[in-house]
Amino acid sequence: MKKFTFQFYSSNYLIRPILFWLVGPLILMLFIFIFQGASIPILIKSYFITVLWLIPFIPLWLFILYFNYKKHNGNSILLVTDNYNKFIYKELNNEFVFEKSEIAKIVVYLSYPEYEKHLITAFWTEYYYVKIVLKNNTKIKITCLLCDTLIDYLDDGKIIYKKKFLPLI
């Protein structure tokens, strides 16, 4: 049995992008200091201007998706049992128990670069979520922050990939 809970401090989806946003400009400023000989006060100002200028490009979209996914799966648990055939999904007030045979379709919502297998230029484009539609018409949404390997446990023939600019739930 595998148990998945929400990854509050996900290294792939939160920590790595924030470190890139903060450390990337610092490394750039060090190269400028070494090769151009700029003064330390100018480099410090340049660093803060660069970090602030990058806010709309890296952390804003990242935080929007992170908190949207946290709202939907922050208190959820997913259990995968019986050789990956039985799933137990627990929310605050609901519990869904279903097997692979009860799944009508699986829709995976990816960003455009992920969907088209392009070079990933922004970390927020790696976020995605899966909507599982059962035969009784129950819809369960599971984000990559709850279980980013869910697709591996599901039938490929039932999976439909869709693209969204910003895969919000």
pLDDT digits (tens, 9 = 90+) for 95-120: 999 999 999 999 999 988 888 877 66
pLDDT digits (tens, 9 = 90+) for 73-88: 999 999 999 888 999 9
Residue with tokens 């450390």: 23
Residue 140 or residue 39, greater confidence:
140
Residue 103 or residue 20, greater confidence:
103
So what's the pLDDT on residue 109? Answer: 96
CB of 16 closer than 8 Å to CB of 9: no
- pLDDT (mean) for 22-28: 84
Asked if the model's pLDDT at residue 9 lies above 80, the reply is no
- Beta bridge partners of residue 77, listed in sequence order: 5, 90
In whole angstroms, give the CA distance from residue 110 to residue 107.
10
CA angle 91/150/9 to nearest 5° reads: 65
- What's the pTM value of the predicted model, to 2 decimals? 0.81
- Beta bridge partners of residue 134, listed in sequence order: 103
Asked if the model's pLDDT at residue 16 lies above 80, the reply is no
Range in 31-45, 93-107, 140-154 with the lowest mean pLDDT: 31-45
So what's the pLDDT on residue 121? Answer: 62
- Beta bridge partners of residue 79, listed in sequence order: 3, 88
So what's the pLDDT on residue 119? Answer: 64
So what's the pLDDT on residue 120? Answer: 63
